[in-house]
Structure 1
Amino acid sequence: MKSLLSAPILRRIALAAIVFWVAALVATGGLAGKLGGAEKNDATTWLPKSAESTKVSELTGKFIGSDVYPAVVVYERGDAVSNSTARARAESDAHRFATLPQVHGPVPEPVESEDGKAIQVVVPISVGVKGVTDALPTVRSIRDIVSDAGMSAHVTGPAGYGADSADAFSAVNSTLLYVTIAIVMAILLVTYRSPVLWLLPLVCVGVALTVAQGLIYLLAAHAGLTVNNDTEFLLTVLVFGAGTDYALLLTARYREELRRTENRHVAMATAIRRAGPAIAASAITVALSLLCLVVADLNSTKSLGPVMAMGVLVSFAVLTTLYPALLVLCGRWIFWPAAPRFGDPEPAGSRRGNRLERLITSRPRRVWQVTAVTLAFLSLGLFGLHASGLRAQDTFRNRPDAVVGEQVLLEHFPGGSGDPVQIIGPASDADRLRDLASGVPGVVSVSTPVRADGLAYLEVTTADVTGSDAAFATVERLRSVVHSLPDAMVGGSSAVALDTQKAARHDRNMVVPLVLSVVLVIMALLLRALVAPAVVLATVVLSLAAALGVSALVFDTVLGFAGADPSFPLWAFVFLISLGIDYSIFLMARIREETANHDTATATVIAVRTTSGTITAAGVVLAGTFAALLTLPLVFAAEIGFAVAFGVLLDTFVVRTVLVPALAIDLGERMWWPRRTRLDSREGGAIPDPIVKQTI
């Protein structure tokens, strides 16, 4: 064993790690850039094949072409423009639209509103494998055409929104990457107080992100993994947050060992041996929690699990091999100007930390009870969380052209204009389907049935805007009447949104208990106890509820969001449970390590002292990376960013700092049931610690 820890062998291992990751970076670098091309952003590809709207989408290709989305051009004429002039201009533009490359089939004649103040033209656009966001080039061309129309003109509808979404995402990855790097760099500079050390974690995280993106591209291109815009930007913040956390935790333990060990290679080997199990448990917990998403019905949620798990595991691998290799090869000078020297004393804790320590150790039960009640009070805001979905116009934080166009459209036309509900049924029942649909409340008009291959296709214009609760109600009523006929189904954008909402509820019910079970089992294996994992998990769940409660209040009253995506609660839950449990895992693993020589109360104080600064820095980094999502113009990104950032800070400064230590001190040796601590099995009880005895 001694020979394995010799400096020459450890130096060769470090060099081998560097060579391996350089080779991996070269092999995956080109693939990482192709990840965006493998995205599928069509909402129907996210739903399971069994969803009614998915089946309708597959069959409508017989009638309107496969993957065809309408762009709705709405003209609003002013008093200075006559009806005849406005109509002539719309007709001229419609002929020009028909010549654009992606336009599918003939463009219908312009339709004038009943009040005579607006005209709409529906342009069918054929898209590719990336879904509706592929409509961006054609929508840009349409907007160029109408820009000189001499009257107000906007492009909205599914294709208009898809184009604006793609436009928003086009700058997301680069902007988010730069913002994230700036945040992490600033925090690392403050944490390390070194002008050079912060470079190593960022370089390693960059390697991890590139390798992960390359591997995910291979899975998306050759193994059927679904990736979209959401998964790509979430991968960026998760890899930066988790990877930097692992670097901080390992660096802190390495710095600690450098004061005790003269040879830096041996110091790093000791640091990895002692900190490695907790870091590995953290990575495995996050990865397995995310992999629980594979049981979800929504493909967008199901695919998120493998993508995020891949990012976490690659980050763990890079930051526990390449990063320590670079650290030891650089030597102690990398910590300049505060390089740790062999024999240096341990740094003293802050006065504020000592005051909090005395409070917790003197009245642990009162402290954890007050803290728990406060978190429970904050969680009451959950009753105000509206996660039933967002209308298309509510998904943006700004006002792109599609949002403005829809508002103009709603002023002059029925809410469902240009984006009809679709009905598919047997050709023999076509007239019956039309009669049934026409009598449903909320329906404005029903098209003449089109027959092909034994099927009938009808389009239904609804009074209410696509994706609204009223439109959902109309879809439900349509389904209740057309289902009286065999093989009749209802689809379209509103039906897709409704089916997505139902699938999201199913996914929450499936994934939540599974994630909680996985986390509990991993912590039980790590701590070799049952009480401690259950107690810690309960604190994190309470913190999660408080974070979501506060988030709901902020979304509604501060940010003014109209609601939340149906997938938001589940994604926030998985991120906060898996990431929030990290800091308690690090703390509890250190407490368990210290129980080899101290009673639980003493071990808790020592563990809090030794891990406090590092875990705080790690929490701030992780919160900062997710807070970077608030810079994006998308409501979903902002909601995930705020909820996870706030939740992580709550776990860092309240759960890990106050609640868990107070519970550990109050429960004492009962925390480790059914395992007995080493001190319990020794005669004479705990080994006193003169420093800790002063505070306990």
Structure 2
Amino acid sequence: MQHRNPLTWLTDRALGNIGRWVVIGLWLVAAGLLSGVAPKLANYYNDKATSSIGTPESVQASAIVAKAFPHQQGLPAIIVVSNPSGLTTADQHVATQIACWLLTDAQRAANAACAGLTYPDPRPADAGPVVSLVNIPQAKNQLVSTDGTTQTIIVALNLPQSDSLAIQKDIKAIRAYTDSLAGPSLAVKVTGPSGILADLVNIFAGADVKLLLTTVLLVLVLLAVIYRSPLLALLPIIGVGWVLAIVNGILGFAAKAQLFPIGQQPTSIMDVLLFGAGTDYTIFIVARLREELRHQPDRHVALQTTMRSVGEAITSSAGTVILGLLTLVLTVLGLYSSLGLVLAIAVAVMLLAGLTLVPAILSVLGNAAFWPFIPRVQTATERAAEAAKPESGFWGAIARFVVRNPVAAIIGSLVLLGALALGNLGIRPDFNSLSDLRNPTPSTDGYKILAKHFAPGTLAPFNVVIHWR
């Protein structure tokens, strides 16, 4: 009994007269349904995917504190009020205005400093405990710099770090209010863990769009130059667009069900990876199909032959990548664990598209896919002449050298790769999260003011947890 290769069975079915339309229809329905009914992934981003680091002492200590002091949790925002010439009475009034705005109605009523003050906007709903000169004057040494130029107000947001979108919304509201009180000589900046997280979310949100547009443009230009066909240049874009809609839907359901935490960073990387993988698989298929069309007049047979050979190649390539990505699940750092799962799922769906959707679209387009440079079938004389002629050009010369001198090629490759790897010797680990913010942001501006006017550790000391069992 003859056993058929599963890949051959799959690709042959996808290329049938009816099968190709069924495949395109199924992908279209899946993308449409998941885009319409799946939870929006951005609403369920969980930054535990980037902050979790297994169970070291710091994580254990945080768990003990959260259990013992459940009402003292929250991610702090630090509001920096600074005047390089020294805080004036008017500047101190601004600090009082901000502190009173952040207090609850009951706290304002009980504090004489807040009497008579009005507030155009309500305090953020998630604002928690406030540490300021208004309600804790005995903390002056910790809240006011020794040179009298800078004063801080600390407010804890009653939100988990994983709820980055809600934190971003609260920080935006706080900044809208504090910015209205700043003056020519008075800087009012919101920094601290909440402020930094909000700026990181803003940067990644903007970077996603720029990165996606740049990638699409680069793919279009490269494929247009390589194949000189507008339809072939658009093919990977169409395929990846379909896959993105489906993968985002799958991840949206997974995030809502809390199957595993998904952060914004892995999904940003996923977009670029999918375009890389999708373009790679498409180039494999198109290049092989172009060769077949020069020998086979029946384009359907040519496409079947192409997929029977290329299908195994792209499956092996994708399988290796998927297995490599899944090893990241074993890491203790949440960022890499989440990254491995997200990217493995994305590559698996892209592989399925490469084996079914891409060849089905090529089958429907036919020779028009290569317009205006449609391959023609070579004559027997042309094939014989081509076989007798050695491969010319740069890549032909490289191929001949490697075949004739395999040992030299291996040694040369190792030397070249080793030289390129020498740059790793200059890498120095950087544990400063602000280094991710290359351009100035309100949080980096505020942090620079704090670093200039407060001693190290004053605002963010180490906490030692002693737990009796």
TM-score under structure 2 normalisation? 0.83
- In 1, Cα distance between the equivalents of 2:91 and 2:314? 67
Match of 1:394 in 2: 435
- In 1, Cα distance between the equivalents of 2:49 and 2:260? 15
Match of 2:27 in 1: 21
Match of 1:497 in 2: none
1:154 paired with 2:189, answer yes
Whichever residue aligns with residue 102 of structure 1, its letter is D
Whichever residue aligns with residue 403 of structure 1, its letter is T
1:272 paired with 2:296, answer no
Name the CA shift for 1:185/1:123 in 2 (closer, same or farther; >3 Å).
same
Whichever residue aligns with residue 227 of structure 2, its letter is Y
Name the CA shift for 1:26/1:246 in 2 (closer, same or farther; >3 Å).
same
Match of 1:36 in 2: 42
Cα displacement (A) at 1:208: 1.0
Match of 1:683 in 2: none
1:217 paired with 2:217, answer no
Contact 2:131-2:155 at 8 Å conserved across structures:
yes
Equivalent of 1:63, from 20, 45, 69?
A: 69
Identify which range, 67-76 or 37-46, moves more after superposition.
37-46
Cα displacement (A) at 1:298: 2.0
- In 2, Cα distance between the equivalents of 1:262 and 1:6? 18
Please give the residue correspondences for 1:182-261 in structure 2 after superposition, counting only pairs within 5 Å: 182-261=217-296
Match of 2:426 in 1: 384
Cα displacement (A) at 1:374: 3.0
Match of 1:580 in 2: none
- In 2, Cα distance between the equivalents of 1:170 and 1:351? 44
Cα displacement (A) at 1:82: 4.8
Name the CA shift for 1:286/1:225 in 2 (closer, same or farther; >3 Å).
same
Name the CA shift for 1:126/1:418 in 2 (closer, same or farther; >3 Å).
farther
Please give the residue correspondences for 1:335-414 in structure 2 after superposition, counting only pairs within 5 Å: 335-343=370-378, 349-386=391-428, 388-414=429-455
Equivalent of 1:87, from 84, 92, 99?
A: 92
Cα displacement (A) at 1:412: 0.9
Cα displacement (A) at 1:361: 4.7
Name the CA shift for 1:324/1:6 in 2 (closer, same or farther; >3 Å).
closer
RMSD of Structure 2 on Structure 1 (CA): 2.7
Deviations 1:453-473 (A, max 9, x none): xxxxxxxxxxxxxxxxxxxxx
Name the CA shift for 1:365/1:51 in 2 (closer, same or farther; >3 Å).
closer
- In 2, Cα distance between the equivalents of 1:410 and 1:30? 48
- In 2, Cα distance between the equivalents of 1:337 and 1:206? 25
1:342 counterpart SS class: coil
2:18 counterpart SS class: helix
Whichever residue aligns with residue 321 of structure 2, its letter is V
- In 2, Cα distance between the equivalents of 1:195 and 1:390? 46
Contact 2:274-2:346 at 8 Å conserved across structures:
yes
Match of 1:112 in 2: 144
- In 1, Cα distance between the equivalents of 2:65 and 2:223? 54
- In 2, Cα distance between the equivalents of 1:300 and 1:240? 21
Cα displacement (A) at 1:72: 0.9
Cα displacement (A) at 1:149: 2.8
Name the CA shift for 1:40/1:8 in 2 (closer, same or farther; >3 Å).
closer
Match of 1:127 in 2: 159
Match of 1:181 in 2: 216
1:104 counterpart SS class: strand
Contact 2:99-2:130 at 8 Å conserved across structures:
no
Please give the residue correspondences for 1:261-660 in structure 2 after superposition, counting only pairs within 5 Å: 261-343=296-378, 349-386=391-428, 388-426=429-467
Whichever residue aligns with residue 240 of structure 1, its letter is F
* Structure 2 residue ranges without an equivalent (≥5): 104-122, 135-142
- In 2, Cα distance between the equivalents of 1:295 and 1:372? 30
- In 2, Cα distance between the equivalents of 1:12 and 1:135? 51
Whichever residue aligns with residue 24 of structure 1, its letter is A
Match of 2:119 in 1: none
Cα displacement (A) at 1:105: 2.8
Deviations 1:499-536 (A, max 9, x none): xxxxxxxxxxxxxxxxxxxxxxxxxxxxxxxxxxxxxx
Deviations 1:93-134 (A, max 9, x none): 111133322211344326211111111111111225733553
Select the structure with the greater relative contact order (CA < 8 A; seq sep ≥ 6): 2
Name the CA shift for 1:136/1:130 in 2 (closer, same or farther; >3 Å).
same
1:331 counterpart SS class: helix
* Structure 1 residue ranges without an equivalent (≥5): 427-485, 488-696
Whichever residue aligns with residue 376 of structure 1, its letter is G
Match of 1:164 in 2: 199
- In 2, Cα distance between the equivalents of 1:8 and 1:70? 55
Name the CA shift for 1:8/1:154 in 2 (closer, same or farther; >3 Å).
closer
1:187 counterpart SS class: helix
- In 2, Cα distance between the equivalents of 1:166 and 1:134? 11
Cα displacement (A) at 1:45: 5.2
- In 2, Cα distance between the equivalents of 1:179 and 1:290? 25
Contact 1:290-1:305 at 8 Å conserved across structures:
yes
1:141 paired with 2:173, answer yes
Equivalent of 2:102, from 87, 97, 100?
A: 97
Match of 1:528 in 2: none
Deviations 1:30-71 (A, max 9, x none): 3566111121124785222x2322233233334363751111
Name the CA shift for 1:43/1:282 in 2 (closer, same or farther; >3 Å).
closer
Cα displacement (A) at 1:421: 2.6
Cα displacement (A) at 1:73: 1.1
Q: Percent identity, please.
A: 29
Cα displacement (A) at 1:369: 2.3
Cα displacement (A) at 1:86: 2.4
Deviations 1:514-567 (A, max 9, x none): xxxxxxxxxxxxxxxxxxxxxxxxxxxxxxxxxxxxxxxxxxxxxxxxxxxxxx
Contact 2:87-2:149 at 8 Å conserved across structures:
no
Cα displacement (A) at 1:357: 4.0
- In 2, Cα distance between the equivalents of 1:416 and 1:134? 28
Deviations 1:217-273 (A, max 9, x none): 222222521110111101111111101110110111112112222221221111111
Name the CA shift for 1:17/1:55 in 2 (closer, same or farther; >3 Å).
same
- In 1, Cα distance between the equivalents of 2:282 and 2:61? 49
Whichever residue aligns with residue 92 of structure 1, its letter is Q
- In 1, Cα distance between the equivalents of 2:276 and 2:404? 35
Identify which range, 117-126 or 30-39, moves more after superposition.
30-39
Name the CA shift for 1:51/1:65 in 2 (closer, same or farther; >3 Å).
farther
Name the CA shift for 1:91/1:277 in 2 (closer, same or farther; >3 Å).
same
- In 1, Cα distance between the equivalents of 2:401 and 2:60? 62
Whichever residue aligns with residue 414 of structure 1, its letter is A
Name the CA shift for 1:292/1:66 in 2 (closer, same or farther; >3 Å).
farther
Name the CA shift for 1:374/1:9 in 2 (closer, same or farther; >3 Å).
closer
Cα displacement (A) at 1:24: 1.2
- In 1, Cα distance between the equivalents of 2:154 and 2:15? 70
Whichever residue aligns with residue 251 of structure 1, its letter is V
1:343 counterpart SS class: coil
